[in-house]
């Protein structure tokens, strides 16, 4: 086994997806919709692989199917208020995972430090380690709430002086994820400006994972850090068609950035992945073509999905509150965290002190209640486990009937 694999052999998704199926649970664990992507993109995919002259079943351009990179450049050119060259500023890879992997491999050397804000999407840690880097963690911390006031993701704050104190000569990268998985926090413009100032001052590159960019609720605004002064030239922005069109199995993702940075992601990509399935890229390209025409209008898929998901979020929030799990209302994303610390009498902590309470609780809930969720300690470092191990994550990008089945389980809990 290569040294780079040390300590990265466990994977929460591989472990818990299997258990969720084994116990036939109502699955609010892994983040994927259980309803189909919009009809017109599915039809585009089907046509791409069935119609003459069949060239969409073959290789396409290594760094992204021309029609897709052109549409991505058009869309993000508008959103970032930046002229984007489809062939220099956009790289399409195998999902956001592929784009992230290329970014970590492209910039992280042995000994480089990567700042990761907790709780974080788990793959940033092994990707840093596999590149030889060192993770430096900084937790978001909840502001105390008044008695009876319910918690929202906005209450969780980054202490930017704590962040500034973590910067060393070895700091190379800061990983940002907004809207955040698993908390659902949408970083405000002010928060992002403070982070941007630190990146600019210390010459740090930002990997900005924005796969949930369209999923912001209650009128919150998604702000792209690459659009802030001094940031375009030091930011790799990551997106995903899986999240944008609710088609996680298609594995189409992208990285956007200045040519002098993206060039190094292309080097990794061309020598490892080469390219992502042509038919899926064609379908996503057609999807963006349609959405570009109706961006921000009521019939835009991104607007519709956001509206539907806000209702689902509110339904789940109500159910969790009723059963006494204290939910943290998310400003964005697919997910909601809930505080399970009041369940310790009913579900006593594990006898093995190396097992965190949230893992133990989730396994208990799968077996005894046929309901799955994801433990939040999978999204934080060992050093900060105690801050997060009383929380679990539920996914609400589900059919109403799935959420109603979960509601039934929660209502009959006692």
| Interacting residue ranges for ligand PMP, rule: CB under 6 A | 31, 95-97, 121, 177, 181, 209, 211, 240, 242, 248, 253
Q: How far is the CB of 73 from ligand PMP (least distance, A)?
A: 19
Which residues from 163-222 bind ligand GLN, rule CB under 6 A?
A: 181
Nearest alpha carbon to residue 374 among 385, 365, 383, 387: 365
246: alpha, beta or left, given left = phi > 0 and alpha = psi -120 to 50? Answer: left
Nearest alpha carbon to residue 340 among 354, 355, 321, 353: 321
Nearest alpha carbon to residue 65 among 264, 274, 242, 260: 274
Is 333 among the residues that bind ligand GLN (CB under 6 A)?
A: no
Residue 13 interacting partner from ligand GLN, ligand PMP, none (CB closer than 5 to 8 Å by kind): ligand GLN
Nearest residue by C-beta to ligand PMP? 95
Residue 184 interacting partner from ligand PMP, ligand GLN, none (CB closer than 5 to 8 Å by kind): none
Site map 279..318 versus ligand GLN, x via CB under 6 A: ----------------------------------------
CA distances to 98, 213, 243, 255, 386 from 236, rounded to whole Å, are: 13, 15, 18, 6, 32
**Smaller CB distance to ligand PMP: residue 357 or 391?**
391
Beta pairing partners, 395: 335
**Smaller CB distance to ligand PMP: residue 25 or 240?**
240
**Smaller CB distance to ligand GLN: residue 122 or 291?**
122
Is 25 among the residues that bind ligand GLN (CB under 6 A)?
A: no
CB 316 within 8 A of CB 406: yes
**Phi, psi values for residue 312, rounded to 5°:** -65, -40
Nearest alpha carbon to residue 69 among 289, 285, 292, 286: 285
Q: How far is the CB of 99 from ligand GLN (least distance, A)?
A: 13
Residue 153 interacting partner from ligand PMP, ligand GLN, none (CB closer than 5 to 8 Å by kind): none
Q: How far is the CB of 288 from ligand PMP (least distance, A)?
A: 15
Residue 265, number of CB atoms within 10 A of its CB: 25
Torsion angle, alpha carbons of 132, 185, 224, 222, to 10: 160
Is 30 among the residues that bind ligand GLN (CB under 6 A)?
A: yes
> Which runs of E-coded beta strand occur in 123-180?
134-139, 141-142, 156-157, 171-177
Strands 374-375 and 391-395: antiparallel
Is 237 among the residues that bind ligand GLN (CB under 6 A)?
A: no
Q: How far is the CB of 276 from ligand GLN (least distance, A)?
A: 16
In the numeric block, which tokens belong to residue 73? 């450049």
**Smaller CB distance to ligand PMP: residue 10 or 344?**
10
Is 375 among the residues that bind ligand GLN (CB under 6 A)?
A: no
In the numeric block, which tokens belong to residue 8? 């990265």
Nearest residue by C-beta to ligand GLN? 31
> Which runs of E-coded beta strand occur in 51-170?
90-94, 113-118, 134-139, 141-142, 156-157
Q: How far is the CB of 92 from ligand PMP (least distance, A)?
A: 11
Is 31 among the residues that bind ligand GLN (CB under 6 A)?
A: yes
**Smaller CB distance to ligand GLN: residue 28 or 216?**
28
Angle at 360 between CA 15 and CA 370, to 5 degrees: 70
**Smaller CB distance to ligand PMP: residue 228 or 374?**
374
Is 13 among the residues that bind ligand GLN (CB under 6 A)?
A: yes
**Smaller CB distance to ligand GLN: residue 325 or 378?**
378
Q: How far is the CB of 345 from ligand PMP (least distance, A)?
A: 33
DSSP per residue over 176-242, as a string?
EESS-TTT-----HHHHHHHHHHHHHTT-EEEEE-TTTT-B-TT-----GGGSTTTGGGEEEEEEHH
Residue 177 interacting partner from ligand PMP, ligand GLN, none (CB closer than 5 to 8 Å by kind): ligand PMP
Residue 30 interacting partner from ligand GLN, ligand PMP, none (CB closer than 5 to 8 Å by kind): ligand GLN
| CA 398 and chain centroid, separation | 17
Question: Would you tell me which residues interact with ligand GLN (CB under 6 A)?
Answer: 13, 30-31, 181
């Amino acid at each position: 086994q290569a040294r780079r694999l040390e300590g990265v052999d466990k994977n929460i998704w591989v472990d818990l997806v299997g258990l969720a199926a084994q116990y036939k649970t109502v699955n609010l664990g892994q983040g994927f919709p259980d309803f189909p992507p919009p009809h017109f993109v599915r039809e585009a995919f089907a046509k791409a692989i069935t119609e003459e002259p069949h060239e969409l079943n073959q290789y396409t351009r290594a760094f992204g199917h021309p029609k897709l990179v052109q549409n991505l450049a058009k869309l993000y050119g508008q959103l970032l208020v930046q002229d984007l060259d489809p062939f220099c500023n956009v790289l399409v890879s195998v999902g956001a995972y592929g784009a992230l992997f290329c970014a970590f491999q492209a910039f992280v050397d042995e000994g480089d430090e990567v700042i990761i804000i907790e709780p974080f999407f788990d793959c940033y840690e092994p990707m840093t380690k596999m590149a030889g880097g060192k993770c430096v963690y900084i937790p978001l911390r909840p502001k105390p709430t008044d008695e009876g006031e319910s918690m929202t993701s906005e209450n969780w704050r980054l202490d930017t002086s704590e962040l500034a104190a973590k910067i060393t000569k070895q700091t190379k990268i800061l990983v940002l994820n907004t809207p955040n998985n698993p908390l659902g926090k949408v970083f405000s413009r002010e928060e992002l400006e403070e982070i941007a100032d630190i990146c600019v001052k210390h010459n740090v590159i930002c990997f900005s994972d924005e796969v949930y960019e369209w999923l912001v609720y209650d009128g919150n605004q998604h702000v792209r850090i690459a659009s802030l002064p001094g940031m375009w030239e030091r930011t790799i922005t990551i997106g995903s068609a899986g999240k944008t069109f609710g088609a996680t199995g298609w594995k189409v993702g992208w990285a956007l950035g200045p040519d002098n940075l993206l060039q190094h992601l292309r080097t990794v990509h061309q020598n490892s992945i080469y390219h992502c399935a042509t038919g899926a890229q064609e379908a996503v390209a057609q999807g963006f073509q349609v959405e570009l025409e109706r961006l921000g209008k009521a019939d835009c898929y991104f607007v519709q999905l956001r509206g539907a998901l806000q209702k689902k979020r509110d339904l789940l929030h109500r159910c969790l509150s009723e059963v006494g799990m204290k939910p943290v209302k998310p400003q964005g994303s697919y997910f909601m965290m809930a505080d399970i610390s009041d369940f310790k009498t009913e579900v006593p902590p594990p006898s093995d002190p190396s097992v965190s309470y949230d893992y133990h609780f989730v396994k208990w809930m799968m077996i005894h209640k046929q309901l799955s969720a994801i433990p939040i300690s999978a999204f934080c470092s060992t050093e900060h486990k105690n801050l997060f191990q009383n929380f679990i994550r539920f996914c609400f990008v589900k059919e109403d009937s799935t959420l109603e089945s979960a509601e039934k389980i929660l209502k009959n809990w006692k």
